[in-house]
């Protein structure tokens, strides 16, 4: 089972799928956080995301997937610098990965056998210009979280260890999933995710049967199933590309900006990242829907996923933050 389950074949979970599509349209939105119970298709959706992403142009063999030959770091020591199309990298960051696996470290093999001081790039290098996926993100060790925060903020990975002094670009979109019952996520890391969605198992029998049917077909009739759904995936991919183009032409009026600011103010979200993300997500959503101008309806549609995780958290508040956002949206936008 080398091919992941196709994205378009995922039943229901519309909000999660929408959030992933939005971040594929505009990666600067900054990733998706998926929180939900076990067995709700979180991991499946993230692994399927890779197939949706259009290929990127990069120098062949470059450890940081540089676009142009001039950007290839000198420590990579590439002989030829030819560009090729490669799938957008989606890199798994396993729990309990050590610091040097994440940032990169001295290449021990080379050091010991050849006596060379060489840099062995880590996961952050491979994730450059792509996605970094962390399953069970709320269980990630704190020192790795600190490291990720720092890199995500600066877009650059700095390695100063074992006599190495290396910096390389590390711009990636964070995608995380987790089960909130198992632990909470630090607000600083929460803020790094552009959008957040909460998923639950579908409650209605027909939907559940659909899920089982498709999974069964995926496992037992793989060829026909993939043929059918890969076509759908390709259609979504084309639509994402169209939307990316449309994004530039999209008009944003001052009154919408005003709405967005007012909404964030009413919710008391920290900083300006909330406004920016909400605006970007709304624009991506409008482009996805083929609309030429940004309207309140777009803002309203994406407000919960863009703001839910940015509210100043009251640890003892029992109501979900999603409902708080929805309520405020009703009040502000009418």
Partner 1 sequence: MDSWEQATLALQLVAIDPGLGGITIRARSGPVRDRLLALVDPAARKLHPAISDEALFGGLNLAATLENGHIVQEQGLLSHPGALILTMAERASTALAARLAIALDAGQHSLIALDEGAEPDEALDAKLAERLAFHVDLSELSINNLSAQDTVNRATSDLRTITHNPDILHQITAIATQLGIDSLRAPLFTLRAARALAALLGRDRVTSDDLETACALTLAHRATRVPEPEPQEPEAPPPEQDDAQNNQDTADLPDELLLDAVRAMLPDNLLERLAAQKARQGRGNGTGAARKGNRRGRPLPSRAGRLSDGARIDIIATLRAAAPWQTIRKQATGRDTLQIRPSDIHVKRFEEKSDRLLIFTVDASGSSALSRLAEAKGAVELLLAQAYARRDHVALVAFRGTEAELLLPPTRSLVQTKRRLAALPGGGATPLAAGMVTAYEQATQAQRRGLTPTVAILTDGRANIALDGTANRKQAAIDAQQIARLLRAGNIATLVIDTGNRPEPALRELAQTLAATYLPMPRADAKRLSQSVATALGD
Task: Please list the active-site residues.
Answer: 273
Q: Which residue has the tokens 């074949």?
A: 9
- How, if at all, do strands 32-36 and 172-178 pair? parallel
> Which strand ranges, in their side-by-side order, compose the sheet holding 90-92?
90-92, 130-135, 172-178, 32-36, 195-199
Binding mask 155-174 for partner 1 (x = CB under 8 A): -------xx-----------
Binding mask 115-154 for partner 1 (x = CB under 8 A): x-------------------xx-xxxxxx-----------
Segment 277-306, which members bind partner 1 (CB under 8 A)?
none
CB of 326 to partner 1, least distance (A): 19
CB of 53 to partner 1, least distance (A): 20
- Distinct helix (H) and strand (E) counts, the chain: 13, 11
CB of 48 to partner 1, least distance (A): 13
Q: In the numeric block, which tokens belong to residue 174?
A: 């964070």
Say if CB 159 and CB 165 are below 8 A apart: yes
- How, if at all, do strands 32-36 and 195-199 pair? parallel
Binding mask 215-254 for partner 1 (x = CB under 8 A): xx--xx----------------------------------
With CB under 8 A as the contact rule, which of the stretches 48-56, 80-88, 108-116, 152-160 interacts with partner 1?
108-116
Say if CB 95 and CB 179 are below 8 A apart: no
Of 202, 223, 221, which Cα lies nearest the Cα of 211? 202
Q: Which three-class secondary structure state does DSSP give residue 196?
A: strand
> Residues in the site for partner 1, rule: CB under 8 A?
1, 37-41, 43, 92, 94-96, 98-100, 106, 108-109, 111-113, 115, 135-136, 138-143, 162-163, 179, 181-184, 186, 200-203, 205, 208-209, 211-213, 215-216, 219-220, 315-318
């Amino acid at each position: 089972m080398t091919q992941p389950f196709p994205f378009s074949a995922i039943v229901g979970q519309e909000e999660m799928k929408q959030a992933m599509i939005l971040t594929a349209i505009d990666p600067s939105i900054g990733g998706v956080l998926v929180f939900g119970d076990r067995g709700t298709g979180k991991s499946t959706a993230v692994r399927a995301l890779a197939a949706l992403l259009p290929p990127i142009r990069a120098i062949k063999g470059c450890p940081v997937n540089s676009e142009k030959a001039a950007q290839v770091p000198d420590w990579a020591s590439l002989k030829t610098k030819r560009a090729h199309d490669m799938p957008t990298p989606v890199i798994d960051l396993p729990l309990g990965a050590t610091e040097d696996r994440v940032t990169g470290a001295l290449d021990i093999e080379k050091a010991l056998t050849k006596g060379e001081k060489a840099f062995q790039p880590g996961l952050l290098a491979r994730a450059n210009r792509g996605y970094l996926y962390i399953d069970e993100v709320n269980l990630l060790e704190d020192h790795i979280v600190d490291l990720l925060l720092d890199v995500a903020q600066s877009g650059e990975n700095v390695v100063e260890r074992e006599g190495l002094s290396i910096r390389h670009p590390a711009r990636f979109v964070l995608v995380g999933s987790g089960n909130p019952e198992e632990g909470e996520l630090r607000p600083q890391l929460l803020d790094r995710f552009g959008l957040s969605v909460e998923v639950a198992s579908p409650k209605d029998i027909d939907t559940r049967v659909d899920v089982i049917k498709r999974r069964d077909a995926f496992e037992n009739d793989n060829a026909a199933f993939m043929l059918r759904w890969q076509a759908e995936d390709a259609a979504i991919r084309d639509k994402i590309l169209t939307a990316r183009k449309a994004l530039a032409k999209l008009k944003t009026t001052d009154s919408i900006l005003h709405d967005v600011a007012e909404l964030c103010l009413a919710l008391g979200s920290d900083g300006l990242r909330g406004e920016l993300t909400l605006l970007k997500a709304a624009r991506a959503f409008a482009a996805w829907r083929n609309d030429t101008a940004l309207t309140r309806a777009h803002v309203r549609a994406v407000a919960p996923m863009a703001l839910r995780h940015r509210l100043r958290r009251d640890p003892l508040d029992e109501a979900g933050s999603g409902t708080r956002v929805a309520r405020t949206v009703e009040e502000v936008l009418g």
